[in-house]
Amino acid sequence: MNKTLLAAALALAANTALAGNFNYTYIEGGYGEVDTGDDGDDGDALFIGGSVDLQQGFGIIGSFYTLDLGDNFDGTIFTVGGQFHTPISSQADFVGSIQLINAEVEYDGPYGYDDSADDTGLLLRGGIRFAIQQNLQLEGDISYIDNDFWDDNELGLKAGLRFFFNRQFSLAGGFASDQELDGLYISGRFDL
């Protein structure tokens, strides 16, 4: 029985040590192409974000997006909240977050008609980081957004591939979609 307990403790320690290859303290910036589904309202997005691990498994995460959605629409999205992560295998971590999300869009219409919409809501996210090999990771998550900026509460999907040039710098590309916005993105991340 003692050998079984010792083997279980060693397996848990090894699993935690291998999962330590994932860093959750970083800054990141990127660019995305956005498709709203409406003619003429497609555009570009720039974003910056980051995460700080405060203690093993828990941290703070946040981001800021600026959107240029076609001829007359501009917007911003700001998120901030808490993040949790835990190993689920020697190659994968589960990552979840709860964030406040503030979205604002401004419309510059003809003949001086201007309008804007602004709302703060909740963003819930859960996903997996999987190490395909030492310098290549697959990232994916499912999100739920409760914010009046979107027509309804939204379910979203995100999937990406991250390549590490060294232990600190990586590039990623992927696809993100919810029921309002779809897009492709590229990003650069610097692990601290």
**So what's the pLDDT on residue 19?**
41
Which pLDDT score is estimated for 20?
43
**What would the two tokens of residue 191 be?**
């692990």
pLDDT digits (tens, 9 = 90+) for 88-117: 999 999 999 999 999 898 877 777 677 788
pLDDT of residue 60: 98
CA distance 150 to 167: 38
User: Among candidates 44, 42, 46, 40, which has minimal Cα distance to 28?
Assistant: 46
**Domain count within the chain:** 1
CA separation for the pair 142, 7 (Å, rounded): 35
Low-confidence stretches of the chain (pLDDT beneath 50): 1, 4-20
- Cβ-contact 102, 117 below 8 angstroms: no
Could you tell me the CATH number of the domain that includes residue 30?
2.40.160.20
pLDDT at 40 (0 to 100) = 58
C-beta of residue 69 within 8 angstroms of C-beta of residue 34: yes
Range of the domain at 83: 2-191
